[in-house]
Amino acid sequence: MKADLAENSGVRGSMVIKPYGYAIWEKIQAELDKKFKETGHQNAYFPLFVPKSLFEAEEKNAEGFAKECAVVTHYRLKTDPNNPHKLIVDPEAKLEEELIVRPTSEAIIWNTYKSWIQSYRDLPILINQWANVVRWEMRTRLFLRTSEFLWQEGHTAHATKDEAIEETEKMLEVYADVVENFMAIPVIKGFKTPTERFAGADETYCIEAMMQDGKALQAGTSHFLGQNFAKAFDVKFTNREGKQEFAWATSWGVSTRLMGALIMTHSDDFGLVLPPKLAPIQVVIVPIFKGEEQLAEISVVANDIFDKLKAKGISVKYDDRTEYKPGWKFAEYELKGVPLRIAMGARDLENNTVEIARRDNLTKEVRSLENIEDYIEELLVTVQNDIYKKAETYRNEHITKVDSYEEFKKVLEEKGGFIAAHWDGTAEEEEQIKEETKATIRCIPLDAEEEQGVSLITGKPSNKRVLFAKAY
């Protein structure tokens, strides 16, 4: 909130994403959208409203999502006959069938795909949608859990199971790539347990990140939906052998929740720390001056640096406002996470130097103006990498192997983070651990090593460790 990214709105559980926050979201969007298109997907748009009956078609989905949702029951207001300044719901304008504001769009989309898919020639369908969705959350928190949020949802249809699984895995890789290399947030790729799986999915893949308070955050999911939705909405096609078959499905999504991951992975006590690739302003130039004459002299050099950086495609701002002091500006840009600050005063002018401050590690250096634009360009790359490495180090230091339930509880309490432990594979053990410790199985890592062990509570044999954590 202090960095001006978002604020709570007058509508319970809904946030306002402010321009600075939205500019970061737009950068995340643009990068994802580019990757989606590179992997053959097209954007489309499906209705906001889903007739209630469509949720009844896929029962697991209904169980999971359709219950805590916004329900449209009427389509008109009228002036209150007792008070001309008040509006009331017009009881005559009651819908025959209630409409649900989409919590996710599998139902409406598969109901549509029914008429698009007749033959294997119509497959695959590789569609993504950028949209708002609503889930009626009781406890909300900016970016992390809001009743309305923005996201993208991919919905694909395939002729074979293998192709659908390949798609599910491909999109998980796209997510991991963008979140790690663009947002500088290291993630662990894994499977969800059946308990934590998306309702209606045969397999849910996820990327899990570790926040600085030791809590995990699910940053994205990719679902192999099997033929569940095809069966619910009767989406059959004639395969190459001329036989009728149900289509195979995937869905995958990331949301404005990524903004929460960004904030909680990199920030420090001075405010936001933005990886250069995501920063709306990558470099800010602040003049330190006494009087207008000195400002004019500094501005000549500052504008030259500005132009050179701009020519390199670097997003740069020259803040020569006179109503704010340099110290105030320094604090402001630190709060907003601007990766590099160039300060220039009278002494710098004499010496042909500038002071460069890095937001990520708070170091400063005085540097000659010579080839300053090349230096800044390289430094932005270094900062991007260092921010990632710092987060990765923290994350790696917060994966603890434990072999007893006692140790599990101790680590969870004292250190937090991911706990790699053996699990007997049952929902019962998972549930008991959750109830007793609030930790859940975040994922079964895709690259989990084969290792013999016994599970935490029941002591049954297990051949790999899963990752537990408390989570957002």
Helix (H, G, I), strand (E, B) or coil at 374: helix
Site residues (CB under 8 A) for a copy of itself, limited to 319-348: 323
Among 34, 40, 67, 347, binds a copy of itself (CB under 8 A): 67
- Segment contacting a copy of itself (CB under 8 A): 94-102, 163-171, 203-211, 359-367? 94-102
Shortest Å distance, C-beta 381 to a copy of itself:
26
Residue 75's alpha-carbon distances to 71, 81, 88, 258, in angstroms, are 12, 18, 12, 34
Structural contact between residues 314 and 282, judged by C-beta atoms closer than 8 angstroms: yes
337 to 275, 320, 355: CA distances (angstroms): 8, 19, 18
# residues near a copy of itself by CB under 8 A? 62
Other residues' Cβ atoms within 10 Å of the Cβ of residue 368: 11
Task: Give 122's DSSP letter.
Answer: G
Residue 359 CB, nearest distance to a copy of itself (Å)? Answer: 22
DSSP annotation of 448: P
Select from 213, 207, 217 the least CA-distant residue to 180: 207
Instruction: With beta carbons less than 8 A apart as the criterion, state whether 434 and 195 touch.
Output: no
Alpha-carbon gap, residue 270 to 76, rounded angstroms:
49
Binding-site member from 34, 40, 74, 234 for a copy of itself (CB under 8 A)? 74
Q: List the one residue from 1, 34, 42, 327 that touches a copy of itself (CB under 8 A).
A: 42
Looking at residue 331, its amino acid is: A
For residue 100, state whether it binds a copy of itself (rule: CB under 8 A). Answer: yes
Q: How far is the CB of 84 from a copy of itself (least distance, A)?
A: 9
Question: Out of 66, 209, 259, 441, which residue is the one contacting a copy of itself (CB under 8 A)?
Answer: 66
Q: Considering the rule CB under 8 A, would residue 69 count as an interface residue with a copy of itself?
A: yes
Residue matched to tokens 């390289």? 378
CA dist., res. 287 & res. 269, Å (int): 25
Q: Which residue from 56, 213, 307, 378 is in contact with a copy of itself, where contact means CB under 8 A?
A: 56
Relative to beta strand 203-210, strand 188-191 is: antiparallel
Span near a copy of itself by CB under 8 A; candidates 20-28, 355-363, 373-381, 439-447:
20-28
What is the rounded CA–CA span in Å between residue 216 and residue 219?
9
Separation between Cα atoms, residue 275 and residue 283, nearest integer Å? 12
Which range, of 106-114, 160-168, 240-248, 338-346, touches a copy of itself by CB under 8 A? Answer: 106-114
Binding mask 130-169 toward a copy of itself (x if CB under 8 A, else -) reads: -xx-x-x-----------x-x-------------------
Q: C-beta of 243: minimal distance to a copy of itself in Å?
A: 20
Among positions 285-324, residues that touch a copy of itself (CB under 8 A) are: 323
Residues that bind a copy of itself (CB under 8 A): 9-11, 14-19, 22-23, 25-26, 42-52, 54-56, 59, 62, 66-78, 85-87, 89, 98-101, 108, 111-112, 121, 127, 131-132, 134, 136, 148, 150, 323
